[in-house]
Amino acid sequence: MSAPGPAVALRPVDASELDAFVAIYVRYAAETLPYDPLGRAPASGVELRRVYADALDDEAAELLWIETGGERAGLLVLQRFDEADGGEAALEFAECYVEPEFRGAGVGRAAVEQVLARERARGTPVVDAAVLRDNPALGFWRALGFEVRAYRTARRP
């Protein structure tokens, strides 16, 4: 039997914590944007604050802290789609970030597995995660049992 993972708690981000959320999100974006083959300018903190203030009011979106040992170790942004959005009802891991000093210890796995257990209980048929083409984090999703289901192509018009 494998060793138990770290104790991880998922806690909703409160509106009063939006600046802290954006500060971590900026590091996440800086790390992942280079994997976008089309390239794009990073969103400003002001823009991110507006987008995630709206997300806090959106019932289909969830902003969560990943905490371990009482510390903030990362964040998750989840987006729920229902049949009315076209296709199967699904929960998407829209964003997933573990701070570098907490990586490689099973924190990301524990966080994702908590969400998977919740969605199994809820009867959600599909859980998916979008990954930029060259992001090595694809290995993380594969390790958690996610299959590459489609390729999304894009170009500038």
Ligand X SMILES: CC(C)(COP(=O)(O)OP(=O)(O)OC[C@H]1O[C@@H](n2cnc3c(N)ncnc32)[C@H](O)[C@@H]1OP(=O)(O)O)[C@@H](O)C(=O)NCCC(=O)NCCS
**DSSP E strands: which ranges in the chain?**
8-12, 61-68, 71-81, 90-98, 126-129
The answer to whether residue 21 forms part of the interface with ligand X (CB under 6 A) is no
C-beta of residue 98 within 8 angstroms of C-beta of residue 108: yes
The answer to whether residue 97 forms part of the interface with ligand X (CB under 6 A) is yes
Local structure of residue 40 (DSSP, 8 states): -
Q: Which stretch binds ligand X (CB under 6 A): 19-27, 38-46, 79-87, 93-101?
A: 93-101
Considering only 104, 149, 151, 154, the residue that binds ligand X (CB under 6 A) is 104
The answer to whether residue 60 forms part of the interface with ligand X (CB under 6 A) is no
Token pair belonging to 43: 């969103």
Considering only 91, 108, 127, 128, the residue that binds ligand X (CB under 6 A) is 108
Q: What angle do CA 36, 44, 79 make, to 5 degrees?
A: 65
Q: Which residues bind ligand X (CB under 6 A)?
A: 28, 31-32, 96-98, 103-109, 129, 131, 135-137, 139-140, 143
